[in-house]
Amino acid sequence: MSGKGGVGKSSIAVMLAQILAHDGRKVGLLDVDICGPSVPSLLKIEAQPVMDSQWGWKPIVSPQGNIKTLSVGSLLSSGSQAVVWRGPRKTALIRRMIKDTLWGRLDDLVIDTPPGTSDEHLTIIKLLASTKPDGAVIITAPQKMSAGVVSREIRFCQKMGLPILGIIENLSGFCCPCCSEVSQVFSSGAGKYLAEKYSIPFLGSLPIDPSMSSVQQRGLSMKEEHPHSGVSEAMSHIKRRVIEAVEN
């Protein structure tokens, strides 16, 4: 989750799912961003329809075969169709995506959310309350200016009784494709600042990596394509911290 748009929530949700699946865990990836779903394009499954059965929707299996996923983007006939849905319909749709979908046994269910604190967030938190979700992973940009909107997201989770597993700072410096040196492009430190302010774990930071867009356009995994990149190494560290936070 993040109060801010475009900070990498979807990219990180997908990478976390891929890296957990790479470890042999059974992973589900649910995209509840109704207005701007991006998981189908990040996994390159836009053309695949969701099959219905008498027991509910069948999640789409990622091309690599290791992630079960469901997104509103896949439930619409055309991926580019704009959806303007109001509260009750959104709630009903998200409820079906959780309760009437054949997820099967999963070790982890990663959920990608839209920016802010919308109907989608309220619905998902209420639906999952009885199952005691492990918690939220908060994403921030490095600039201190982002801290305000991200703070609101943190306070929202606290108010809703949703545990926070920790915070990730994304777009934190530029990782040179030639020598892997990281240079600071923006002011930085919002992640650590927020972690200290709210006493939540700092999970790590991810640099800006120019190879990410081509990997995403091909629906591939950073971990598989560029295992030694700054982003892949940071994600491995973040995955371990997330698992630690869940176990604690």
Ligand X SMILES: Nc1ncnc2c1ncn2[C@@H]1O[C@H](COP(=O)(O)OP(=O)(O)OP(=O)(O)O)[C@@H](O)[C@H]1O
Is residue 69 involved in binding ligand X (CB under 6 A)?
no
Q: Which is nearer to Zn ion, 76 or 176 (CB)?
A: 176
DSSP-derived secondary structure letter, 163? -
Q: Which is nearer to Zn ion, 52 or 181 (CB)?
A: 181
Which of these ranges, 155-163, 165-173, 179-187, 200-208, lies near Zn ion under the rule CB under 5 A? 179-187
Tokens of 92: 């009903």
For 7, 92, 96, 118, 187, the CA distances from 30, given in Å and listed in that order, are 18, 15, 12, 16, 33
Among 111, 104, 45, smallest CA distance to 73 is for 45
Is residue 18 involved in binding Mg ion (CB under 5 A)?
no
Is residue 179 involved in binding Zn ion (CB under 5 A)?
yes
Sites for Zn ion among residues 108-167 (CB under 5 A): none
Is residue 93 involved in binding Zn ion (CB under 5 A)?
no
Q: Which is nearer to ligand X, 20 or 171 (CB)?
A: 171
Q: How far apart are CA 61 and CA 73, in angstroms?
A: 15
Q: How far is the CB of 112 from ligand X (least distance, A)?
A: 7
Sites for ligand X among residues 108-147 (CB under 6 A): 114-115
Count CB neighbours of 17 within 10 A: 29
Which of these ranges, 44-52, 68-76, 151-159, 209-217, lies near ligand X under the rule CB under 6 A? 209-217
Phi, psi (rounded to 5 degrees) for 175: -95, 110
